[in-house]
Chains A and B, each alone.
Chain A
Amino acid sequence: MTRASTARAVGATFRAAAAEAFANRASFWSQATIMILNDVAWVGFWVVFFHEVGSLRGWEADDVLLLFSVLTTAAGLVLGLLANARRIGALAGDGELDATLTLPVPPLAHLLARRVEPVHIGDTLFGIGLFALAGSPTPTRTAMFVLAAVAGAAVMVGFVVAIQSLAFFAGRNEGGDLGVHAVILLASYPAELFRGLPRAVLYSVVPAAFVSTVPATLVSDFDLTAAAGLLAAATLSVLTGWSVFTVGLRRYTSGAAWSRA
């Protein structure tokens, strides 16, 4: 297949997945609403926190709300629109990739486009709404917010695919799930709160700082070096995810289960 026909096929797969998720509209909106309420509770936590402590290492309530809007938007893009990213470990461990491997498209692209998760679409809707309400949107800031969220999502999807693909080697998936939880949890807090080794980890092994802190800082205070760093981190993360998946796929053994992934 040519690149153009591959892109068309993956696009058609994604449209089908989106239509499937949206088929039961009542269910779609109830799930998305529950996630929005969940995110509102986190905003409540931060409001209470900063009401008590004022500011923390230069971060104030508005800064953290901006960070949270970037994070929820990025996480929604990954866990909502590319929902299979966090299921790769389970699919690999259970030998359920047979159907995907018969298709004339790159397996990773097909897998990522194959499932849309309504509950996490609520995250993206919430993130956009929070930015509109608390992010002081101007045309420049809005454009930066979109780019920053997409870059954060690229970092996150690369990391999630890589950590989930370790199941090809380990056979079990607990570590992959822990990795997904870890990157979301660590990205929920400004990286500046941490010092020494934990902070170094946030900029390397678990690149949570590039999912939220760096993108949010770019929205409020653009810096060319930081932007280049974010772009490099996004590229590296995506390449790492693709490489680990591709190498791991060679070790895949069928579970004789013909599933739709």
Chain B
Amino acid sequence: MRGHWAVVVATAAARRTLSDRAGLAVGTLFYLLVTGVISTVWRTAAGESDTGLVAGYSAAALGWYLAASEVTAVAINPRLIEAIGEDIAGGAVESEMLRPAPVVGVRLAAALGTALPRIACCAVGGSALALATAGSPPDAAGLALAAPALVLGVACNVATQHAAAAAAFWLRDAKSAWFLYQKFVFMLGGLLLPIEVLPGWLERVATLLPFAAMAYVPGRLASGHVEPGLLLVQVGWLAVMTALAALAFARGERRLQAVGA
């Protein structure tokens, strides 16, 4: 294998995404539609508020927040948990175990590689949309920090979905769990609303969970809050969730071998 296997896998996946131009265009259009709608709602709310702010965010800040946070949701397959669960239950994972590389590592690299072109397209389209509807970014430094935060946020999301989907090794079914997982990202992850909007106790819960690292952090940075420490939070959660996914897959794979499937 030429080059490190993770780079080879991610590059091949990224090329596959790039070759499907229609899929990439439709995905970007969908992102622009979702972002345009939800951004209109929040910017209208800020515009009608007496202070011009919602939970400390101005209309412009909310426009940029949502342009960034929504990228992390649209860039990956929302039903990834279900797909992984089907691969585990259907036996596809068993054939992947024959490769000279860890199953979960290859899958994480492929998912991230698939997402990278989508992140790039949505980020460019989202920036144009936010410029047109919300005005200039509140802070250029924050926007610059949001770029790596988008990739880290997607990586956290992919790793967490693998950790959750590994339950299929024992349950043989992860179907429909993605619906509930998605709602955690929506609400506690700050995808649809900055977590500062949540009631105090729920906001505290949200800061203790990995979901905020997925959508809230890129949004917070893009909305003009120059807080580089948030990137470290993402790196920490990425390490934890990757380790959890690796552990769960390792145990699950042993279980598959044990039953001789």
Q: Which residues of A contact B (CB under 8 A)?
A: 30-31, 34-35, 37-38, 41, 44-45, 48-49, 51-53, 56-57, 119, 172, 174-175, 177-178, 181-182, 185-186, 189, 193-194, 198
Contact = CB atoms under 8 A, between A and B. Distances in A.
B170 interface: no
A56 B44 contact: yes
A56 B187 CA distance: 20
B40 A193 contact: yes
Contacts of B180: 34, 37-38
Interface string B154-184: 0000000000000000000000100110110
B150 interface: no
B124 to A, nearest CB: 19
B183 A41 contact: yes
Given A30-B176, A38-B180, A41-B187, A49 B193 contact: yes
Interface of B: 22-23, 26, 29-30, 33-34, 36-37, 40-41, 44-45, 48-49, 54-55, 176, 179-180, 182-183, 186-187, 192-193, 197-199
By DSSP majority rule, is chain A's interface helix, strand, loop, or mixed?
helix
Contacts of B193: 45, 48-49
Given A49-B193, A56-B41, A38 B30 contact: no
Contacts of A44: 187
A35 B179 contact: yes
A169 to B, nearest CB: 15
Given A37-B179, A182-B30, 18 more contacts: A30-B176, A35-B179, A41-B187, A44-B187, A45-B193, A48-B193, A53-B49, A53-B54, A56-B41, A57-B44, A119-B176, A174-B26, A178-B26, A178-B30, A185-B34, A185-B37, A194-B40, A198-B40
With a 10 A CB-CB cut-off, give which of B45, B186, B187, B197 has the most chain A CB atoms. Answer: B45
Nearest to B29: A178
A181 to B, nearest CB: 6
